[in-house]
Amino acid sequence: MNTGLLQTDSNSKEEQDALLMEVYKQMFIVTYSIIRNKSEAMDAVQESWVKILRKLDTLRERDKLIQWAKVIATNTAYNMIKRKVAVSLGDPEETGITLVAPEGVEERVMRNIIFEEMNKLDEKTKQILTYKYYYDMKDKDIAERMDLPIGTVKARIHRGKEQLRAMLSDPYLRPD
């Protein structure tokens, strides 16, 4: 595998290997959660590696490699399912059958990606967003718990959402 594009002066072979193993592991987790078949998930990961290697030169921020790879793996897994359905049932447009992802899979994958991006926010904003969206707390309760004015909580929620939106809309996280 050509990992030359992942190399920097400070990377050792062990660090590169560890990074690639983590990318592979995360891609497998994503594809397996969608396909639910180990060998087909491994096929999806391999197909994703080919896509990644072809487009690796378009990745500007190395620290987004894992998220980018997971998005590619997710799309590859869904495409594999669509191809499988098309082969076994005929063309979905002709048969009128549409493929629906297993309930909750896309949401779980997206939630994981959002959670990873949240870890890049400052600690207070991350904590406020966690209270708001993971614990479903009201702004007033968050303000009391964190001993902050409610206006500060609302502002941090707004800014945090804007930061996440910007991070998640990065075109280098999308395959194509």
Helix %, strand %, coil % of the chain (to 5): 75, 0, 25
Q: What is the phi/psi pair of residue 110, to 5°?
A: -65, -40
* Residue 89 CB coordination number (10 Å): 12
Q: What pLDDT sits at residue 36?
A: 82
Q: What gap in Å lies between CA 139 and CA 128, rounded to an integer?
A: 9
Q: In a structure prediction context, what are the per-residue pLDDT tens digits for the chain, which is 176 residues long? A: 444 545 555 568 888 888 889 999 999 998 888 888 899 999 999 999 999 989 888 888 888 888 899 989 988 988 888 777 655 544 545 545 454 555 556 666 677 777 778 888 899 998 898 888 877 889 999 999 999 999 999 999 999 988 888 877 654 444 43
Q: What pLDDT sits at residue 102?
A: 54
